[in-house]
């Protein structure tokens, strides 16, 4: 991978005995300062808003449709 111009300049400064600017960086540069919170009830509800999950009662929105059509003595059965 290629080196950036800034990295080349820093390496040149250290070779010449000068101070590397990386040494001046704060120790907090590499820390993750974001605050993480647990999901609220609203966030949890919106997460499952449009997904078809099975409920504990078994009513998951699916159905079974059987169509029975009789012509004369023959019976035709279609299931979807």
- In the chain, count H helices and then E strands: 2, 2
Q: What is the pLDDT of residue 60?
A: 59
Tokens coding 25 = 């960086």
Structure token pair of residue 32: 């993750």
- Average pLDDT on 67-73 reads 65
State the pTM of this model: 0.36
* CA–CA dist 39, 16 (Å, integer): 53
What percent of the chain lies above the pLDDT cut of 70?
64
Within the chain, strands assigned E span: 66-71, 74-79
Residue 8 has pLDDT above 90, yes or no: yes
Q: Please state the rounded mean pLDDT for residues 8-30.
A: 90
């Amino acid at each position: 991978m290629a080196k950036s111009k800034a990295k080349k300049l820093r390496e040149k400064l250290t070779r010449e005995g000068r101070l590397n600017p990386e040494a001046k960086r704060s120790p907090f540069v590499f820390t993750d300062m974001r605050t993480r919170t647990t999901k609220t009830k609203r966030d949890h509800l919106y997460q499952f808003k449009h997904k078809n999950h099975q409920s504990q009662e078994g009513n998951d929105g699916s159905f079974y449709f059987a169509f029975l059509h009789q012509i004369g003595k023959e019976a035709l059965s279609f299931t979807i």
